[in-house]
Amino acid sequence: MIGTIVNACTILLGAVLGGTFKRFLSKKLEDALLGALGMAAFGIGISNVVKNMPDSKYPVLFIVSLALGVLCGTLLDIDGRLKRAAAPKAKAGAEAAASDKLPGPSAGRGRLIDGLTTGCLIYCIGALSILGPIEAALRGDHTLLFTNATLDLVTSTVLAATYGYGMMIAAGVLFLWQGSIYVLTLSLGEFISSAMMTELSIVGGFMIAMTGIGIMGIKDFKVLNFLPALIVPVVWCLITGA
């Protein structure tokens, strides 16, 4: 799992660099950086879709996945539950901040959740992040993971420059994600098929693109509510494979 460890470490390094740089950013520069980050996320998402759509064996599966996913996510209120859980439990701190005309801690935490959602989607839902652990498990080839680590170093630096040191949490999420794929591949061999990776990359690409649109302030899709959409391609590919 050396490739996954390196990948997680580059995200940590990028978060430290970006968090340190953040203190020197003015509001104007931060807004400009958010705009650039939003366009980058949108581009990465569309790139995932365009690259994988021609290889899809189920052309409408991504539509069904997104529709069912957002229905389940909205009914479960994943976005709202997570943001409420991140809000401070005591009102005293928020009231004190309001009396000082400062943004309350809930605003900062909600903003960090938006950043972590963006980061985790970009880091985890992509061809390199899915295919990399599989190649490492089956062939001992870490090339894809090292390539992904280089890209994530830059992305992590930009994200942390906007959202702060809290983006380091995303390194743990990536480690668990890629580590799970690595272990499953070792244990179950063909459990994760190429068709499954293709469909996951398409659905994930749309989710990353939606995140970019949200960062730019065009429309808030509440991307966390779309997370169940990633389960649909897995279940479908397992059923059709069986």
Question: By C-alpha distance, which of 22, 1, 3 is closest to 166?
Answer: 22
Smallest CA-to-CA distance from 140 within 95, 86, 186 is with 186
pLDDT of residue 43: 87
pLDDT tens per residue across span 79-105: 888 767 655 443 434 444 344 444 444
For residues 71 and 94, the model is more confident at 71
pLDDT for 174: 93
CA distances from 204 to 39, 45, 96, 104, 208 (A): 16, 7, 40, 32, 6
The mean of the pLDDT values for the chain is 81
> Which backbone phi and psi does 141 adopt, to 5 degrees?
-100, 115
Supply the DSSP symbol for 216.
T
pTM: 0.70
Residue 109's pLDDT is what? 62
Closest CA to 17 of 163, 166, 175, 161: 161
State how far the Cα of 40 lies from the Cα of 48, in Å rounded to an integer: 12
Question: What is the pLDDT, as a whole number, of residue 185?
Answer: 82
Q: Is the pLDDT of residue 232 over 90?
A: yes
| Tens of pLDDT, residues 203-230 | 888 988 888 888 788 988 888 899 899 8
For 17, the token pair is 């660099």
Give pLDDT, residue 201: 84
CA-to-CA distance for 2 and 149, rounded, in angstroms?
11
pLDDT of residue 48: 83
Rounded distance, CA 179 to CA 165, Å? Answer: 23
Task: Using the predicted structure, report yes or no on whether residue 44 has a pLDDT greater than 60.
Answer: yes
Q: Which of 5-14, 15-24, 100-109, 120-129 holds the top average pLDDT?
A: 5-14
